[in-house]
Amino acid sequence: MKTAVISLLTTLSFLNGAHAQDHAFQLFDSNGKKVKYAKMIKHLDGAQIILFGEFHDNPISHWLQLEVTSSLLKNNQLVLGAEMFEADNQKELNQYLSGEINTNGLDTLARLWTNFKTDYKPLLDLAKENKLDFVAANVPRSFAKLVYKGGFEALDTLSKEEKSWIAPLPIAYDPTLPGYVEMLEMMGGHGGENLPKAQAIKDATMAHFILANYQPEQTFIHYNGAYHSNNYEGILWYLKQTRPELKYATISTVSQADISKLEAENKGIADFIICVDEDMTSTH
């Protein structure tokens, strides 16, 4: 109920064009210019692959994911996918979408995030209701741990079936990408050079399964943590290594004390930026 009330108040304030902290979020374009929801949707209507970067515990991110997806359904043939489901759970995801198992069955058979019911189940149910494919795009988390401990070489020990759940080997990798460099700097060198590699195997695998399930005349919407696509890096870098000709669009989420103006550090990180009041409640 709390989430519904927050969504309603946010919608009303947004549609009424309120300013400053009279509402919970503000949309900006890459240059920091305020944009209307309808204008963003018009731009996204022409995209072939959309990366929707969220804050995992932010209700505005999750509400807008559902709203944007519903809006794009009107004019586009959609395919959905997400970081929050790992590739080896695709069978279970398909069973849920087909009605073969219910929510409890999915929770028993698949590895679901703790905020699945509040934040990701609505997206999955939207796919189910509209008979859309939903791709489990992420690498199994245990494989990312393998990379963290032993580098990409550790993936050579996987079986043929296990390798079908990751991007094809060898994994392309550019350690000079700012996002990976920043990750090392933020950790003060802890974790060594394998830390960003563990991130890269996730980015590469998500990109791989996005492209493996994308078809011409479709729009693929992928939901992921903002850091996986911010600054047009991460997943998008890998997508462009294989399919640079496709039309991509990115959305990111940021948090600020004052949402009336986009801070300089948040400009340019995506085509559209959801700027959320930092006092917004968390979903978990």
Residue-wise pLDDT for 190-235, tens only, equals 668 899 999 999 999 999 999 999 999 999 999 999 999 999 999 9
Q: Which two tokens stand for residue 99?
A: 């009605």
The SS3 assignment for 19 reads coil
The SS3 assignment for 219 reads strand
Question: What is the CB neighbour count within 10 angstroms for residue 104?
Answer: 8
The SS3 assignment for 136 reads strand
Report the chain's mean pLDDT, rounded to a whole number. 92
Question: What is the CB neighbour count within 10 angstroms for residue 174?
Answer: 12
Helix 194-213 × helix 141-150 angle, to 10°: 140
224 against 4, higher pLDDT: 224
Q: Where are the alpha helices (DSSP H) in the chain?
A: 2-15, 37-44, 59-73, 90-98, 103-109, 121-129, 141-150, 160-163, 178-186, 194-213, 235-242
- Residue 24 confidence class, pLDDT cut points 50, 70, 90: very high
Q: What is the pTM of this model?
A: 0.91
Distance separating the N- and C-terminal Cα atoms of the chain:
15
Which pLDDT value is given to residue 110? Answer: 97
pLDDT above 70 as % of the chain: 91
Structural domains in the chain, CATH included, are 2-277 (3.40.50.11550)
Q: Taking 70 as the threshold, does the pLDDT of residue 15 lie above it?
A: no
Which pLDDT value is given to residue 191? Answer: 64
Using the 8-state DSSP alphabet, how is residue 30 labeled?
T
* pLDDT tens for each residue of 35-79: 999 999 999 998 999 999 999 999 999 999 999 999 999 999 999
Q: Edge-to-edge strand order for the sheet containing 272-277?
A: 25-29, 272-277, 248-256, 49-54, 218-225, 77-86, 134-138
